[in-house]
Structure 1
Amino acid sequence: MELIQEHSDVSAYLAANEAVDHGHPLVQETAEALWATTGDAYSYAKVAFEFVRDTVPHSADSGDPRVSWRASDVLATRNGICYAKSHALAALLRAKGIPTALCYQRLAEDDGSGAVVHGLVAVLLPGEDRWARQDPRGNKPGVDARFALDREQLAFPVRPELGEIDYPELYAAPHPAVLKALRESADRPELWRNLPTGL
């Protein structure tokens, strides 16, 4: 799949915004601690991915009712759904000068009741000529997402026969429908009712 940049200027994918608040002290502190264990962009990106994937439980898995959406809040509460975890990973990577985009998939509900939009990121590492999508959702039985540049190993490979879609757009900021659902939901049950079904 060919990914489509929303902005021609790659610097847009380094910018801070309300959700990807990489100027926040907690994001900066976390990025510095992770960088200290690596020292180059590739190994840092992998460690940051694994940190968000493994140490911030997806709230559907943990049962946490809180709704976090700012990267700094995700890191502070160690809680969030796919969108929030993507914001946290994007913030950690942008904090160290790695262009990171937000991207989305439309996935079928397991019970066949409809569809839901899933969030992930794409990174552009130094020396690479293409974006590589990464999914920090968090692994569980049946989900085995891993950091990779040569091939995708996402949480949910799309099933076109079920109407699932890989949206090709690379967003510099969260899609407005995603941000609206996160900001207007008091708890996770309400968020589940507000999740967008398509973009």
Structure 2
Amino acid sequence: MNDGTASLIWQATRETLMMVGVAMAVTIPLGLALGVLLLITGRGQILEQPLANRAIAAVVNVGRSVPFIILLVAVIPLTRALVGTTIGTTAAIVPLALGTIPFFARIVETALREVPGGLVEAALAAGARRREVVTKVLIPEALPSLVAGVTITTIGVLGYSAMAGAVGGGGLGDVAIRYGYQRYETDVTIATVVVLVVLVQLLQFAGDRLARRLSHT
């Protein structure tokens, strides 16, 4: 791999990391909020609201049902309205976040369901408010599972970001398509695959280690 190719891969890697980082910065708080609402508005929960729960669940399910490649095209008007363009790494962040928030919300809901109900009941009996139950019982107790969920989601976003290259989203996927596929530069394709594999391994290692550390506290 010559210096030009190495520079190209490095720039694409930076674009990919930027897309993933910003998308996750949006996904984590919004997905966490949706996941909490999915749980606490459910039957027998601390804020039981069946109609609201069904409405939130429907929105989340619809968001999870749309294939990402279709979502990329479907949200073009929204992307243009928000960032002023539909091409490049900044534009790719919009569909990345929209496609990931519902997925992460379900992960959050599942993680929170693992918290023993007795802990919630004890907190309520001690006079804790609903907000305190969420922030001081549910989320702290589910933190190892939530960290594992963030890891899984981040790796998923990394894969989505490569797919965004098919529509000019920039990053490693864009380089792999424009140079590796369209120009038959096999070394570029191999390099992008290697970088993506390394990134996934690093993310998984860091996420697993942090989750194990939190589970021992």
TM-score, length of structure 1 as denominator length? 0.30
**Which structure has greater strand proportion?**
1
**Which structure has greater helix proportion?**
2
TM-score, length of structure 2 as denominator length? 0.28
Name which one, 1 or 2, has greater alpha-carbon Rg: 2
